[in-house]
Amino acid sequence: MPETQAETPVQTSASAVELLEPFVKQLSQVVVGKEHLIRLATCCLIAEGHLLIEDIPGVGKTTLAKALGLSASLEYNRIQFTSDMLPTDILGLSIYSRQREAFDFHPGPIFSQLVLADEVNRATPKTQSALLEAMAEHQVSIEGLTRELPSPFFVIATQNPVDFSGTFPLPDSQLDRFLMRLSMGYPDREAERNLLLNPNRQQMMDKLKPVIDAASMLQLQTQARSIQASDALIDYVLALVHASRHHSALQTGMSPRASLALLRSSRAWALMQGRQFVLPEDVQAVFVAVASHRFNPISGAELSAVEIANQMLDEVPVP
């Protein structure tokens, strides 16, 4: 229907800002003192990527995921990964119905707009790959039938970086499928005081109202794709990618998929700033989150991946 499309007024990016500001504000009330993190998570959502949150238990990973789902009025499912989980536990399966004398498909928890995959590294690689394939393809094939996943489709996976006993760490190729990796970190003193004074998080969570509907979210995603990235900016992205590939402390650099991811996230970030074009500052804002989990420091490296990413930002000149 090209005609009706032409007549719908194009949503301006001003409204992108107007839409997203209350969204971020509401999330900050629940996940206190983590505004930048919340913005990055939102950015990930707008850039149509999936998010990996890596941190010790109890810093609010689940709270963030839940609040995100509620505020964006996304249909929310949580999967707690365990080592005895099977792919069908995620994807769903067909069960023979005696009455109908046929197989009925029972969709698994993956058929949801927002999926929280808690402790994703506890599952066996077989189960992990079922999830990751669904994330990449936006569809699942079960028993020879391809089933579309809902749209928007957004996976937030969490894992504990400290306690590795009985886990199957995600291989590099799987990590690459996450657009961003965030680390929650401890809240600062003020935020934590706030947290202790208002202990009833659950009640707050129940009071959360949807701020953006799924349609608006899809529209924001469409807009983000059309944000202008000039030649100079592409040069900057290339310079960063190049630096990662020739960094002495890294085994491998960023793949082309990673550079695409960086540009995609930068675009979404620019849209969130209300701009129609990407600035180097946008790239810098998302770089660590997008790049660091794809870095593979050599054994015995002095710096962690995040530190290396930050160092690159300081060193690579803006063209």
Contact segment (CB under 8 A) with another protein among 9-17, 56-64, 91-99, 196-204 equals: 9-17
Contact segment (CB under 8 A) with another protein among 95-103, 176-184, 224-232, 292-300 equals: 224-232
Contact segment (CB under 8 A) with another protein among 22-30, 155-163, 204-212, 231-239 equals: 231-239
Q: Is residue 12 near another protein by the rule CB under 8 A?
A: yes
Q: Is residue 152 near another protein by the rule CB under 8 A?
A: no
Residue nearer to another protein on the CB measure, 130 or 283: 283
Q: Is residue 13 near another protein by the rule CB under 8 A?
A: yes
Which residues, numbered 247-276, are part of the site for another protein (CB under 8 A)?
Answer: 274-276
Q: Is residue 180 near another protein by the rule CB under 8 A?
A: no
Q: Is residue 313 near another protein by the rule CB under 8 A?
A: yes
Q: Is residue 51 near another protein by the rule CB under 8 A?
A: no
* DSSP codes, the chain: -HHHHHHSPPPPHHHHHHHHHHHHHHHHHHSTT-HHHHHHHHHHHHTT--EEEE--TTSSHHHHHHHHHHHTT--EEEEE--TT--HHHHHEEEEEETTTTEEEEEE-TTSSSEEEEETGGGS-HHHHHHHHHHHHHSEEEETTEEEEPPSS-EEEEEE-SS--TT--PPPHHHHTTSSEEE---PPPHHHHHHHHHS--HHHHHHH----S-HHHHHHHHHHHHT-B--HHHHHHHHHHHHHHHT-TTBSS---HHHHHHHHHHHHHHHHHTT-SB--HHHHHHHHHHHHGGG--BPTT-SS-HHHHHHHHHHHSPP-
Which residues, numbered 273-302, are part of the site for another protein (CB under 8 A)?
Answer: 274-281, 284
- Provide the binding-site residues for another protein, judged by CB under 8 A: 9-10, 12-14, 17, 228, 230-233, 274-281, 284, 313-319
